[in-house]
Structure 1
Amino acid sequence: MVQEVDSMSRSIMVGLDGSSESRAAAEWAAHEAKLRGLSVRLVHVWEPVAEPLAQAPLLGTESLKHWSEQIPRGVAEGLRARHPGVDVAALQLAGVPGDVLVDVARDAELVALGSRGLSGIGGFMLGSVGQSVIARTEVPVVLVRSGERAADEHALDTAGAPSAATRFRPVLLGLDTRSPDDTVVAFAFEEAARRDAALRVLHAWTPPPSHVYGLSDRVSMHDELARANAAELTEALRPWRDKYPAVEVIEASRAGNAADQLVSSSRYASLVVVGRRIRRSRFGVHIGPVAHGVLHHAATPVAVVAHG
């Protein structure tokens, strides 16, 4: 049987389905657990087959359960070997993956999920399970791809490869200065502090529709708006600089679409942090346009932090 874990232990939960993406999420979680002093809990959810198929000897419920038990056990053994200081346990449950993971996530401090890269595009394919978990849990969720530098967030060494001997790449935070949320900002500062990395805070703004004067007027107004937005960002971050004096903060205020700006900057980051407003609706799941755009196209792990 797969090892069960105490649901009250402080842990990072990993939704594991055996794919290379979910294995990358497990590897990322082990690195993060070491930084946080947490354990890793691998959760594998298997869906019992329909009754007609359950009678087939190779597809029956017991055969499927036995095969699926090998997934979390094998991943757990690998993580323990590579990360001897991290407590790793596995749990297998039956049911609908999205529903089960949301339920188990309530006891976790962080959730890590795998997300498939779009063919030919540097981005994620956010499946129904991942979208459901992000939209329905109030625990921060990190989406990780396979085949990227997710497991090692360090800067490149002289040979052009990530190395533990180099500093962590900056954490990237997307911030709306009109309604900055303390939960999201604190999460980003804490992640940067744990990594002893810089925090790059990006604020994207859009010129108003009235910005349609002559060329010289447009340039003058653009410069004025740029200065005002930059000052707004500096003011929003002032108390956080005081609270985290050891964290190097790099401010960037740019005109343009927020999701596009974050995606473009993500290739230089170790982690991208975006917020998601909690919406309790009977009509589907909602994660917000900025989070949605970043999740589908960012080149690095993305943390979605729910806030009120």
Structure 2
Amino acid sequence: MDRAIIVGLDGSPESRAAAEWAAREAQLRILPLKLVHVWELVSEPLVQAPMLGGETHQHWSDEIPRESAEGLLLRHPGLVVTAEHVAGRPSEVLCEAAQAAELLVLGSRGLSGVGGFLVGSVGLAVVAHAECPVVLVRVGGQAADEHEKDPTGIPSAATRYRPVVLGLDLTTLDASMIDFAFDAAARRESVLRVVHAWGLPTYFDFYGEDADTEWCVEVSRKKATELTEALRAWRQKYPRVDVVEEVRWGGRAGHLIEESRDASLVVVGRRIRRHPFGMHIGPVTHAVLHHATAPVAVVAHD
């Protein structure tokens, strides 16, 4: 059986939004979708409670993936969907499931009053340790949100996909991350915006507007040449993908968060560190996860 797209499901609006996104992605990739519902074992006092015992908890655990699978099949004809529920710690179960996944999808809650994500401890743990790409999907995101606006000014699933945005650090180029972004843009028939941002030297903080902007422009030109060269092989591999290259100075996270407002997907990286403790995500990826308004794909790389 082909590797599947796996979505972590707990019955919350966040996980249901992730399941819908994952279903659309599975159809784009022509892959099966697997729903994994993780439930933690009920403590002994709850098992003894007449309304919250083990049998009731087991019943809820059975119903959530079954009902979700039935709904997805109705809304996405032809999609192959399987579902299972597993007892254990959610982050551990999902990281184990990720070993056989093409893609792992999780939901995140939108920040009240502010566009973006609120990534919980489970999501952060999975992103930090899973070695397959992990996508965080904001609750409330609809299929139309991934598309350009129609003539009436409203996003529509009938229009073209919004751009895929790739945040690229030229000092740590990774083929799997670039390939993921190009492939995503090719499947969506969308523009791929590749953004490389570089930091200013600390002395610029002291000089402010008197800083040598000509020097900055010259550095940006050199980095633009490097970026074009770095993407040459992928432009040849994906000749139909319209690529827009952007080099900017300043904070990388801020530029990617800004770009996410008009994106269908933001792609960032995470260096693999196999130490069992700690959250090894990186400050830029961490910031983008919490504040981007589009789904975010985190691609782990060496």
Residue from 17, 22, 34 that aligns with 1:24: 17
Aligned sequence identity (%) = 61
After superposing the two structures, state which structure 1 stretch, 227-236 or 199-208, moved more: 227-236
TM-fit CA distance, 1:9 = 4.1
Q: Is the 8 A contact 1:144 1:150 kept in 2?
A: no
Task: Count how many residue pairs are aligned between Structure 1 and Structure 2.
Answer: 301
Q: Is the 8 A contact 1:276 1:288 kept in 2?
A: yes
Q: Deviations over 1:8-63 (max 9, x none)?
A: 54211000011111101100011101110101100001112111221111111111
More helix by share: 2
Residue from 172, 175, 178 that aligns with 1:182: 175
CA RMSD of aligned residues (A): 1.7
TM-fit CA distance, 1:261 = 0.5
Q: Is the 8 A contact 1:31 1:151 kept in 2?
A: no
Counterpart residue type for residue 285 of structure 1: M
Map 1:189-228 onto structure 2 (within 5 A): 189-211=182-204, 218-228=212-222
Residue from 118, 124, 137 that aligns with 2:111: 118
TM-fit CA distance, 1:68 = 2.4
After superposing the two structures, state which structure 1 stretch, 294-303 or 275-284, moved more: 275-284
Mapped to 2, the partners of 1:96 and 1:164 lie a distance apart of: 37
TM-fit CA distance, 1:147 = 1.4
TM-fit CA distance, 1:222 = 1.9
Mapped to 2, the partners of 1:215 and 1:35 lie a distance apart of: 47
After superposing the two structures, state which structure 1 stretch, 33-42 or 159-168, moved more: 159-168
Residue from 154, 161, 168 that aligns with 1:161: 154
Relative to the length of structure 1, the TM-score reads 0.93
Mapped to 2, the partners of 1:215 and 1:304 lie a distance apart of: 35
Give the direction of change, closer, same or farther, for the CA distance of 1:56–1:142 in structure 2 (3 Å limit): same
Relative to the length of structure 2, the TM-score reads 0.95
Map 1:1-308 onto structure 2 (within 5 A): 9-149=2-142, 153-211=146-204, 218-308=212-302
After superposing the two structures, state which structure 1 stretch, 216-225 or 11-20, moved more: 216-225
Matched position secondary structure for 1:168: coil
Counterpart residue type for residue 265 of structure 2: L
Give the direction of change, closer, same or farther, for the CA distance of 1:215–1:59 in structure 2 (3 Å limit): closer
Structure 1 residue runs of 5 or longer lacking an equivalent are: 1-7
Q: Deviations over 1:90-135 (max 9, x none)?
A: 1011111111111112111100100111222111111111111111
1:4 alignment partner in structure 2:
none
